[in-house]
Copies of this chain bind each other. A is one copy, B any other.
Amino acid sequence: MPQTLTLHPDRLLPVDSKVRDIARALYAQVKGLPIISPHGHTDPSWFAQNECFGNAAELLLKPDHYVLRMLYSQGIPMEDLGIAPKGSVSSADPREAWRLFGQNYFLFRGTPSQIWLDWVFAEAFGIDVALSGETADHYFDTINAKLASDEFRPRALFDRFDIEVIATTENPLDTLEHHKTIRDSGWNGRVITAYRPDPVVDPEFEGFLDNLQRFSDITGEDCLTWQGYLAAHRQRRAFFAEMGATSTDHGHPTPATADLSPADAEALFTRVTSGTCSLQDAELFRAQMLTEMAGMSLEDGLVMQIHPGSFRNHNPQLFERFGRDIGADIPMRTEYVENLRPLLAKYGNERDLSIILFTLDETVYSRELAPLAGHYPVLKLGPAWWFHDSPEGMRRFRRMTTETAGFYNTVGFNDDTRAFLSIPARHELARRIDCGYLAELVAEHRLSEEAAANLAADLAYNLAKEAYKL
């Protein structure tokens, strides 16, 4: 007999009965609020073309780097999961890959992946038995059948999930054709883009110089000159904003910033584009560009997001065979106080600029980020990110930032995901954990019930909308 799969109505709420009662009441007030998804990685072509998703393995297994990394860590080869080496096509049977996933689903016990996936299985697909080796075929068939139906097309799910707005992430070389298609389609779903210039900002990005050439082509500016390069950014930012973007996003190894003189910046650009860029120059250029981007945000009003601290592609063998984004990125110790100072010295006191900081290094919550955000007008704190986007991770985030930064220097939740079907589960998880945290404060008489009710709605909905100007 397979185990049943049911989602308990009180899941993720604190266990103490008094606290749970308060949390349940708070959650009841916010569970029906629409989803604001201001930062994520869904594919705009889904909403542009509105085609059916593929099979269960294609949709839920292969693109989920959380799932891949865990299975791989236990010795399961990528190939068996349907991941093909670069330049080749997977010969794995999707059903077999899914069975392997089912047999090893116990590995996800205690992880947020299980919480998200069980929601998808139970709520999105209506399955009532737990995933295991025994039930894998049932899952595969059930999910595939549903995915072939109109109710599981991207736009139908978007509406069913009650998404008020979702942001995707594109780089400056992207034509945003899918966003144009969505806009022209008459469909009223709000799908916007965000400006992520890493491929033309990071000298260590694969094909950086080629990217600059394409940046010239797409903008008509000479992006091998410093002024042309900056003008190209301004032009594309304006275009992205036209296409709905309200934010930029910057994925740098560190949060280093710099404030070079115009002459030094130009000389640095010349070195960086000469084809023999040192590691120091690459870092300095990224640092200078964060400050340049902040200056442009002050001009055009785009909210700036900084996502630092990931050692990308830590596993060279795996990277060589399979490429990026298969679960081999590892967080690094990250320092913000010295690194952000050049930018903050220049723009930190601006009232018309907003910079949202993220981290993979939880030690900075109470030591660096909360004190910085609790002082500088430009700074706000993004939610617990990536490895920390989890019940315990969110609790640590609140417990370590609230007492110094308060709630109003944070920006609500964002799901940061490409796993479209799990988006409601992720927002629900965040809302439940935040309501639980607020309930603890109420139960300890550190917060009034009225304030908690306001905050529950702010954390679930209002803060994200305001912080991202949505």
Contacts and interface: CB of A to CB of B under 8 A. Distances in A.
A323 interface: no
Contacts of A133: none
Contact of A402 (B19, B111, B317, B344): B111
Interface stretch (A56-64, A136-144, A328-336): A328-336
Given A331-B371, A391-B403, A392-B403, A10 B445 contact: yes
Interface in A260-311: 311
Interface residues of A, number: 94
A409 to B, nearest CB: 6
Given A333-B363, A362-B366, 12 more contacts: A3-B450, A17-B18, A72-B375, A110-B441, A111-B403, A314-B372, A315-B344, A315-B375, A317-B349, A330-B337, A370-B387, A392-B402
A379 interface: yes
A388 interface: yes
A368 B331 contact: yes
24 contacts: A15-B18, A15-B440, A72-B375, A74-B377, A75-B377, A109-B447, A110-B441, A110-B446, A111-B404, A314-B375, A330-B368, A330-B371, A330-B372, A331-B337, A331-B368, A332-B338, A333-B335, A333-B367, A362-B367, A366-B393, A387-B403, A390-B403, A391-B403, A392-B399
A335 B454 CA distance: 41
A160 interface: no
A333 B360 CA distance: 16
Contacts of A450: 3
Contacts of A344: 314-315
Given A109-B455, A371-B331, A402-B111, A409 B15 contact: no
Interface of A: 3, 7-8, 10-19, 69-70, 72-75, 106-112, 115, 130, 311, 314-318, 327-333, 335, 337-338, 341, 344-345, 348-349, 351, 360-363, 366-368, 370-377, 379, 387-388, 390-393, 399-400, 402-409, 440-441, 443-448, 450-451, 454-455
A194 to B, nearest CB: 24
B330 A375 contact: yes
Given A15-B444, A393-B366, A444-B13, A374 B70 contact: yes
A337 B349 contact: no
Contacts of A329: 371
A439 to B, nearest CB: 9
A446 B73 contact: no
A249 B10 CA distance: 45
A138 to B, nearest CB: 18
